[in-house]
Amino acid sequence: MNLRLLAAALSASALSVSALAEPPDLAVIARASGTPEIPGLKMVWLAPWGDVAKSHPWRNIIVHQTEGPAGSARGGAQEQAKNPTRRGVMVWVETDGSVYWAVSETLVPTHTDGANRNDNKYVDNSKTYHQVNKDTSIGVEFAGNYPDVTRGPTDAQVSAWRVLVRVLRARYQIPLDRVYAHNWIDFKDARYCEGCALATMAREWGE
């Protein structure tokens, strides 16, 4: 093989390897149905995705923390799967970064307390007061801040959240400024700011 043909063969081989190494497009995966593999996430599917065009019209994401111990996300998600509209959320995140998709995206679990905050302490509540509630919002629950409720998320949870929030926003076309901490929209627990660090991270990461 002459040098020109050898160079062409090596170039083609490099392109082939590059194509194989190219990560799948999260935006494309986010619009899928079923139980897709999502790079960067360990997903446990208790309910599969359906046709996104037929899902509930989700407009917001609310970040919660359970005040539960490590390991409680799995149990919470399983109970949610048995009784989807109980007080809880659609998506649960364990301290090891595992993400549990608990219920069908067409159903509305009971979470938040009615978006009763109207003091503009964290965000402009004129856009959230009695509007960012269970009927309009996907709830994401992070486990593990027990017995110290001021304990922040684990590194594994932060890594999972970095991918998960992108997937949720892409799937349901949710703008970045509609990612909220529970404490930004509801008066809740005076001991700590529930979900604030995680919601702030999501907004700072941007697109």
Is residue 36 in a domain? Answer: yes
Q: Is 87 within a domain?
A: yes
Domain that holds residue 30: 26-205
Q: What is the CATH number of the domain that holds 73?
A: 3.40.80.10
The stretch 112-119 carries a mean pLDDT of 92
pLDDT at 188: 84
pLDDT over 90 percentage in the chain: 78
- Which region among 12-26, 156-170, 192-206 has the lowest average model confidence (pLDDT)? 12-26
> Is residue 181 assigned to a domain?
yes
Residue ranges in the chain assigned as alpha helix (H):
3-21, 26-29, 72-82, 155-172, 182-185, 196-205
pLDDT level of residue 11 (50, 70, 90 thresholds): very low
Evaluate whether residue 6 is within a structural domain: no
- Residue-wise pLDDT for 116-170, tens only, equals 999 999 999 999 999 999 999 999 999 999 898 988 999 999 999 999 999 999 9
* pLDDT for position 206: 83
55 belongs to a structural domain = yes
In a domain, 17, yes or no: no
- Quick check: is 4 in a domain? no
H/E stretch holding 154: none
Mean pLDDT of 24-44: 94
Q: Give the pLDDT band of residue 24 (cuts 50, 70, 90).
A: low
| Radius of gyration of the CA atoms of the chain, in A | 20
Q: Which positions ≥6 away from 67 have C-beta within 8 Å?
A: 145, 146, 149, 189
Percentage of the chain beyond pLDDT 70 is 88
Rounded distance between C-alpha atoms, residue 15 and residue 13, angstroms: 5
Number of domains in the chain: 1
Q: Tell me: pLDDT of 19 over 60.
A: no
Mean pLDDT of the chain: 89
Give yes or no for a contact between 60 and 174, defined as CB atoms under 8 angstroms apart. Answer: yes
Q: 2 lies in a domain?
A: no
Q: For 83-153, where are the alpha helices, taking DSSP H only?
A: none
DSSP letters spanning 12-66:
HHHHHHHHHHSPP-HHHHTT--BS---TT-EEEESS-B--GGGS----EEEEEE-
Sorted by sequence, the CB contacts under 8 Å of residue 68 that are 6+ apart come out as 76, 143, 144, 145, 146
